[in-house]
Chain A
Amino acid sequence: MLALESVSYRYAGALRPSLHDISLELRDGEVLGLVGASESGKTTLCLVASGLAPRTVGGTLGGRLLLDGADAAPLAIHHLAGRVGIAFASPATQLSGVAGTVYEEVAFGPMNLGLPLPEVIARTDGALASLRIEALADRDPARLSGGQQQLVAIAGLLALAPAHLILDEPTAQLDPAGTAMVAEALARLAAEGASILVAEHKTDLLAGICARVALLDAGRVVLDGPAGEVLSDPRLPELGVAAPAAARLRRSARAAQLTGDALARLDGALA
């Protein structure tokens, strides 16, 4: 389990904290969606949850990050690498820049951890297969499209086999097919016991894969509950979050006073 306990965070040089007194639990096998308007603190929360803030980013952290019940503060960043993985929105900056092929790129993390070669190979093969990008194995990562690079970056993360995954807008550059592939891989990882935090603007994606969703506003968690409830909350638009298409359609149907059989059929089709 990954938990944030009364976490506040202020970037170095910033006058105000970006996160205020946040307590969140990410249970094993759970996919937690994180939504919020731009600059609501989603990326900062991802950095704190991954342990990169304040270790790499600097700044001041209040509260605690707990990994499986233990305070993560004493752990060096390379010790966190095999336990918490993080992927960012921009694929270009997540590639190592030194791998000549996608295979080497995906293997980069396990190689850094000094794992035995057969395990590096097994993990790399497994990560490529789980995103169905084996065909890209011999390609130069720098010559791929943005969407393909994002899949490679996520595969690199999966190859580390972390128990906790933090994904900051992982499908920002993916087409619908790529998005579906990532969603499928995340659902499979969660079924295998990984805990996953996904910060996303695509609420349709979150509605499909998350059991729980938290909504951030100005660095505070203002909604936290089952995905169906949070994503159909009428306050979403004023909090800068677009509701999933299904929720909007249901609301429109009710506003148009669609009732009885017709509403039941619509609900059935959207379910």
Chain B
Amino acid sequence: MILGGIAGPAALVVAAVLAPAAVAGVLGRLLRASLLLTVPIALSVLAINVFFFPGGATVLLRIGPFAATAEGLSFATEVLARIGAISGAITLFYLTTPPAALVLDLERRGVSPRVTFVALASVQTVPAMVERAVTITAAQRARGLDTEGSIWRRVRGVLPLAGPVLLGSIGEVEERSMALEARGFTRPGRRTLLWSPPDSGRQRLARWLLVLSVPLLVAARAAGWLEWMT
């Protein structure tokens, strides 16, 4: 958004998302995941802006009462470039950073173990909840619950499934918290950490360059040096 236009975000996608993804060996997975995430949004952004851009004057084609305009297309591509940069960056982060490593590093840098526990437990709980839901679905179906067929039938089947999943999880909270207390989780002070995620000099340099680039780009934009990009 600081860069504006399409060239800036596109260059950012190539330099800060695609190239690192290729180096990390996750380019294929990144492209697949990004496409899955952005295609529905991209289609709606494209349709709405191309056909309904306010002030669009240069008509490219007409479909019935709707006119696609060059101004709308230009704005849509600009928005799409930004969406691509944002979704690509998030996907790259997800594909290259195990939650445990992130949380451990945060803790190493002084974040409270309780905060990091909540963050990591929330992520790790998802597969367990899914597994529990599958088991409960099988059990309820064995008892005659209809979870297939029309949408209405499926909606009616949600409550007998969601109830036990949520109530079961809530019911476990007390015993889980007791087990944590019995293992010294509430002890004040710093925990011992088993390992630290690797952090090379090049990684640190890249992080600092990214941080420094933000005020530099804001200044460049304010000074009008990036107008050529728009």
Using a CB–CB cutoff of 8 Å, the interface residues on chain A facing chain B are: 47, 50, 52, 55-57, 76-78, 80-82, 84-86, 88, 90, 92-98, 100, 103-104, 107-117, 120-121, 142, 153, 156-157, 160
Give A111 to B179 CA distance when docked, in angstroms: 15
Nearest opposing residue in chain A for B125, CB measure: A97
Whether the Cβ atoms of B175 and A111 lie closer than 8 Å is: no
Whether the Cβ atoms of A115 and B192 lie closer than 8 Å is: yes
Whether the Cβ atoms of B184 and A98 lie closer than 8 Å is: no
Give A120 to B183 CA distance when docked, in angstroms: 13
In the assembled complex, how far is the CB of residue B157 from the closest CB belonging to chain A, in whole angstroms?
25
In the assembled complex, how far is the CB of residue B218 from the closest CB belonging to chain A, in whole angstroms?
38
Tell me whether A98 and B120 are in contact in the complex, defined as CB-CB below 8 angstroms, given that A107-B194, A114-B190, A160-B184 are known contacts: yes
Tell me whether A81 and B187 are in contact in the complex, defined as CB-CB below 8 angstroms, given that A93-B172, A100-B100 are known contacts: yes
Nearest opposing residue in chain A for B188, CB measure: A78
Closest 6 CB pairs of A and B: A81-B184, A78-B187, A112-B184, A109-B183, A93-B175, A98-B120
Tell me whether A56 and B177 are in contact in the complex, defined as CB-CB below 8 angstroms, given that A78-B184, A81-B187 are known contacts: yes
Whether the Cβ atoms of B192 and A81 lie closer than 8 Å is: no
Instruction: Flag whether B124 is at the interface (Cβ < 8 A).
Output: yes
Instruction: Flag whether B146 is at the interface (Cβ < 8 A).
Output: no
Tell me whether A92 and B172 are in contact in the complex, defined as CB-CB below 8 angstroms, given that A107-B194, A108-B183 are known contacts: yes
In the assembled complex, how far is the CB of residue A149 from the closest CB belonging to chain B, in whole angstroms?
12
Chain A hits for B124, CB < 8 A: 97-98, 142
Whether the Cβ atoms of A88 and B179 lie closer than 8 Å is: yes
Give A77 to B182 CA distance when docked, in angstroms: 7
Chain B hits for A115, CB < 8 A: 192
Nearest opposing residue in chain A for B186, CB measure: A78
Known pairs A77-B182, A98-B121, A113-B187; list 5 more (Cβ under 8 Å): A56-B181, A57-B174, A112-B113, A112-B185, A142-B128
In the assembled complex, how far is the CB of residue B133 from the closest CB belonging to chain A, in whole angstroms?
15
Whether the Cβ atoms of B127 and A142 lie closer than 8 Å is: yes
Whether the Cβ atoms of A109 and B178 lie closer than 8 Å is: no
Tell me whether A85 and B182 are in contact in the complex, defined as CB-CB below 8 angstroms, given that A97-B121, A98-B121 are known contacts: yes
CB-contact partner of B187 in A55, A84, A112, under 8 A: A112
In the assembled complex, how far is the CB of residue B176 from the closest CB belonging to chain A, in whole angstroms?
5
In the assembled complex, how far is the CB of residue A38 from the closest CB belonging to chain B, in whole angstroms?
17
Tell me whether A52 and B176 are in contact in the complex, defined as CB-CB below 8 angstroms, given that A78-B186, A81-B187, A97-B121 are known contacts: no
Nearest opposing residue in chain A for B100, CB measure: A100
Tell me whether A50 and B100 are in contact in the complex, defined as CB-CB below 8 angstroms, given that A112-B191, A113-B187, A117-B192 are known contacts: no
Whether the Cβ atoms of A50 and B182 lie closer than 8 Å is: yes
In the assembled complex, how far is the CB of residue B98 from the closest CB belonging to chain A, in whole angstroms?
8
Chain B hits for A104, CB < 8 A: 194
Instruction: Flag whether B193 is at the interface (Cβ < 8 A).
Output: yes
CB-contact partner of B181 in A52, A88, A157, under 8 A: A52
Chain A hits for B180, CB < 8 A: 96
Chain A hits for B125, CB < 8 A: 97
Whether the Cβ atoms of B100 and A111 lie closer than 8 Å is: no
Instruction: Flag whether B144 is at the interface (Cβ < 8 A).
Output: no
Instruction: Flag whether B117 is at the interface (Cβ < 8 A).
Output: yes
Give A113 to B124 CA distance when docked, in angstroms: 23
Give A96 to B179 CA distance when docked, in angstroms: 8
Whether the Cβ atoms of B183 and A81 lie closer than 8 Å is: yes
In the assembled complex, how far is the CB of residue B77 from the closest CB belonging to chain A, in whole angstroms?
41
27 contacts between A and B (CB under 8 A): A47-B178, A55-B181, A77-B181, A77-B186, A78-B184, A78-B187, A78-B188, A81-B183, A86-B182, A88-B178, A90-B175, A92-B172, A93-B172, A93-B175, A97-B128, A98-B100, A98-B103, A103-B194, A111-B191, A111-B192, A111-B193, A112-B113, A112-B183, A112-B191, A114-B189, A114-B192, A160-B184
Whether the Cβ atoms of A81 and B193 lie closer than 8 Å is: no
Tell me whether A110 and B192 are in contact in the complex, defined as CB-CB below 8 angstroms, given that A93-B175, A94-B179 are known contacts: yes
Tell me whether A120 and B192 are in contact in the complex, defined as CB-CB below 8 angstroms, given that A114-B187, A142-B128 are known contacts: yes
Chain A hits for B128, CB < 8 A: 92, 97, 142
With most chain B CB atoms within 10 A of its CB, the pick from A92, A107, A111, A153 is A111
Whether the Cβ atoms of B184 and A113 lie closer than 8 Å is: yes
Chain B hits for A112, CB < 8 A: 113, 183-185, 187, 191
In the assembled complex, how far is the CB of residue B222 from the closest CB belonging to chain A, in whole angstroms?
44
Give A104 to B183 CA distance when docked, in angstroms: 13
In the assembled complex, how far is the CB of residue A251 from the closest CB belonging to chain B, in whole angstroms?
37
Chain A hits for B187, CB < 8 A: 78, 81, 112-114
